[in-house]
Amino acid sequence: MSVSSGTTREAVIEELSRLGAIIEGIERDTLFVTVKRDVLRDVAKSLYNLGAYFRTCVGSDEIQIRGYLALYHIFSFDELGLNVVLRVDIPKLHPSVPSIVTEVPAADWCELEARDMVGIEFTYRPVKRLVLPEDWPEGIYPLRKDFSYDSRPPPKQLPRPETNKEVGLPLGPYHPALHEPEYFEIYGKGETVEDIVYRGFHVHRGIEKLAESRRVTYEDIFYLAERICGICGFVHSCCYALALEKAAGIEVPERAMYVRSVLLEIERIHSHLLWLGVVAHILGYDAGFMHTWRIREKAMVVAEILSGSRKTYGVNTVGGIRFDLDRDRIAKTLNYLKVIKEEFTEFLKILLSVPQIKSRASGTGVLPRSDARALSVVGPVARASGLYRDVRKDYPYLAYSEVSFRVPLYTEGDNLARILVRVDEVFESIEIVRQLLDKIPEGPVRAESREIPPLKKAVAAIEAPRGEDVHFIITGVGRPYRWRVRAPTYQNIPALRAMLRGTPLADAPLTIASIDPCFSCTDRVVVYDRVSGRCVRLKLTDLAGG
Amino acid sequence: MSYVKLLRVAAKVGRVTRKYPAEGSLVTEYFRGTIEIDPAMCWGCGACALACPPNSLTTKVEGDRIVIEYFIGRCIFCGRCADVCPKEAITITKNFEHASKSLEDLKYRVIHRVSRCSRCGGPVGAEEEVRNVSERAYPVKASLDLCPSCRAELLAEALAKYHPRRSR
Ligand code: SF4
Ligand code: SF4
């Protein structure tokens, strides 16, 4: 539960009004609020003190429609199941707004992203480029409407860096074979991690921009969204669907909601098993890796049986799903799940009795509860640090209110806790799918009326395997006016600093992996020894080997 | 030492991988793979190309021909083309093995003769489609030999005749 439980909707509204915010719309699960720039920080602070989590912020160019740039800060009250969307209007000529990072540390990245992509300047904070590459020309903002999706401005000339005698051979981070490269610089003192610096966004694909372009339609974005993540893509496709359908007021038939929920849980099962295998591999237990993935393979087959594809299910459409499930598919799914459960139960006993798994995971990479909350971490990372947060319970969507399941909670905050949360969740997910398939109602799978009026807004969230995935949409004509995606890893990576500082270097790979970033991305780190001043680049697996 | 029990598990499950390609792939009967277009069924209407999310299917006019091209290299096996095809000319197959040294091997074309506008000579659509539509939808027959822009122009002229702009 959040820090100060006992807040009510009314109290939130009252507090917002007291601070001079204007409530523009009250929906079932979302308050749309406008605030002036000068009170933004007060409002953010008081929401945070009332127990709100920070979800993300969204920069949006609304010059064509309202004459302003806009910044949306999205807060949420888990125990009320309530989103609060604060909109600040920012004049085009002086596009500057006070930052809220002092009050809400979790806003760090998304503010920088809004600065890069939309050209909103922030005061009260240091700024630097986050998403755009260093050689991107100044003053060109890709998410402004006057920037065409297919234009390529000539790169800015950068001064050549002076070369030292000692040169690190940069083999990363642009690893051609891996999706989502990330890059960490770990500063060490002897064997201890002193600090870590993360550089990401090397493969920013401009998906949000593409989704606004003439090139795509509402219908195409399901396929685009599904390709945001190489592991849990269906989450994004569903989250986009939920946001769009909520904004447009489309009533999705119950059966479609059940099918979507089933596939989301199948995806969680395969994702957690994949991760568990990778953890075994990092800890040098490759036999465990093989067997976890052997069991996981059955989850992939189930996905193929249900959707026609192992990974990119492609079943969503505006207002429902494209094809129905029949009895044969359901029966096969249930059989496979039974086998997965048996095999995983048996194998788990073995895995957890391997000495290096327990000893290397317990007590390492600890994320204290207070840090977890300040950074608004999500998913298994939050639940392993004692924060009871699960979108499926807090903001029930699709068919999750129809099934009973437990949210595993551990308080240790270490790597072992993060392993156990996911292990427990595999079993819960199997039970969820069983209940859903048992209860699935008959009926149509696609809404009759599928009109999408322009300029409607909505926030939707889904509990992805890695935590809360948030999509924000402003509808347009034929395609979204603005579509913002905040994947869970975005929220969790900043917590790595808290987990790694002061810990032994050898634990770093496991800890980095423990937040379950799409792992192959974290392939390379730079180790900089502060004592000798020596700089070496290593593979994470080298580190794991000692 | 209970982790040694893994040996028992391993012995029980045996080998799970297959000697692919000798033993065939592991795809199930539910798999959605590449598509096949039946040229005898296809009208050349281009609906599939409009619906195809990654532009794997495209239409272009080449001289007197309308070419529906399926480039497998871009196909994401979503099956949306089959959903929208009015002629059910598209079948979804279980095929996914397309490794090739030549890009051309990954392109499949259905070629239609283009029907020309009787007014300006511009392309109207595939002959096959125009003929079939005019057989079925009698009321629009009159304008089916016109290209969309001529049709719009003639309509505007006709409207102007019926509603002449009031002079000041
Ligand atoms: S299956 Fe999908 S991607 Fe492939 S051609 Fe058809 S619509 Fe295009
Ligand atoms: S939609 Fe069907 S009939 Fe039309 S061009 Fe495509 S395959 Fe041919």
Flag whether A525 is in a domain.
no
* A136 domain-assigned: no
Q: How far is A335 from chain B (nearest CA, A)?
A: 15
Question: A320 - beta bridge partners?
Answer: A317, A446
Q: From the CA of B35, how far away is ligand 1's center (Å)?
A: 7
Would you say residue A176 lies in a domain? no
Distances (CA, A) of A197 to A183, A189, A203, A525: 8, 15, 18, 10
A420's CB contacts (< 8 A; 6+ apart) are: A384, A408, A410
Chain A residues touching residue B78 (CB < 8 angstroms)? 223, 312, 314
pLDDT tens digits, one per residue of A453-507 = 999 999 999 999 999 999 999 999 999 999 999 988 888 888 888 888 888 877 8
**CATH number of A101's domain:** 3.30.460.80
pLDDT for position A52: 92
Q: How many residues does chain A have?
A: 546
How far, in Å, CA of A119 to CA of A320, rounded? 36
CB-CB contact of B87 with B81 (8 Å): no
Query: For residues B146 and B140, what is the distance between their CA atoms, to the nearest angstrom?
Result: 11
Residue A108 lies in a domain: yes
**B35 CB within 6 A, ligand 2:** no
Nearest chain A residue (CA) to B15: A294
Say what percent of chain B tops pLDDT 70: 92
Domains of chain B: 19-162 (3.30.70.20)
Spatial separation of the C-alpha atoms in residues B37 and A179, rounded to whole Å: 33
Ligand 2 center–CA B66 separation, angstroms? 12
Residue A348 structural domain: 220-483
Answer with the one of A483, A508, A526 that is the final residue of a domain: A483
CA–chain centroid gap for A94, Å, is 32
In a domain, residue A275? The reply is yes
Query: Domain end: A123, A145, A180, which one?
Result: A123
Residue nearest to atom 7 of ligand 1 (CA): B52
Suggest the residue from B30, B77, B83, B93 to mutate for an interface test with chain A (most A CBs closer than 10 A): B30
How far is Cα A304 from Cα A228, in angstroms, rounded to an integer?
Answer: 19
Using CB atoms within 10 A of its CB, is residue A500 exposed (0-12), middle (13-18) or buried (19+)? buried
Give the end of a domain, one of A123, A147, A179.
Answer: A123
CB proximity B11 to A under 8 Å: no
With respect to residue A411, please indicate whether it lies within any of the assigned structural domains. Answer: yes
**CB contact, 8 Å: A219 with chain B?**
yes
| Contact assessment for residue B47 and residue B77, using Cβ atoms and an 8 Å cutoff | no
Percent of chain A with pLDDT strictly greater than 90: 68
pLDDT of residue A267: 97
Low-confidence ranges of chain A (pLDDT < 70): 1-5, 161-183, 518-546
State whether A350 and B3 contact (CB < 8 Å).
Answer: yes
Nearest to A110 by CA among A486, A472, A379, A459: A486
3-state secondary structure of A217: coil
Question: Which atom of ligand 2 approaches the CA of B47 most closely?
Answer: 1
The 10s digit of each residue's pLDDT in A325-345 is 999 999 999 999 999 999 999
Q: What is the pLDDT of residue A182?
A: 64
Those residues with Cβ within 8 angstroms of residue B13's Cβ, 6 or more apart along the chain or in another chain: A294
Same domain, A290 and A400: yes
A64 in a domain, yes or no? yes
Into how many domains does chain A fold?
2
Amino acid A164: pLDDT: 55
Any ligand 2 atom below 6 A from CB of B52: no
A231 and A343 inside one domain: yes
Residue A328 sits in a domain whose CATH number is 1.10.645.10
ipTM confidence:
0.87
Residues A115 and A247 in one domain: no
Let me know if residue A312 belongs to a domain: yes
Q: What is the mean pLDDT of chain A?
A: 87
Helix-, strand-, coil-residue percentages of chain A, each rounded to 5: 45, 20, 40
Strand ordering across the sheet containing A535-539:
A192-199, A183-189, A524-529, A535-539
Shared-domain flag, residues A451 and A339 = yes
Which of the 8 DSSP states describes residue A155?
P
| Percent of all residues in chain B with a pLDDT value above 90, rounded to a whole number | 55
Q: What is the pLDDT of residues A38-81, one digit of tens each?
A: 999 999 999 999 999 999 999 999 999 999 999 999 999 998 99
Question: B139 pLDDT band (50/70/90 cuts)?
Answer: low
| pTM of structure | 0.90
- Verify whether the Cβ–Cβ distance B28 to A301 is below 8 Å: yes
Same domain, A333 and A458: yes
Query: What's chain B's Rg over C-alpha atoms?
Result: 26
| Closest partner CB to A291 (pick from B6, B32, B53) | B6
For Cα atoms A370, A385, A391, give the angle at the middle one, nearest 5 degrees: 100
Interface mutation target, options A330, A346, A356, A358, chain B, most CBs of B under 10 Å: A346
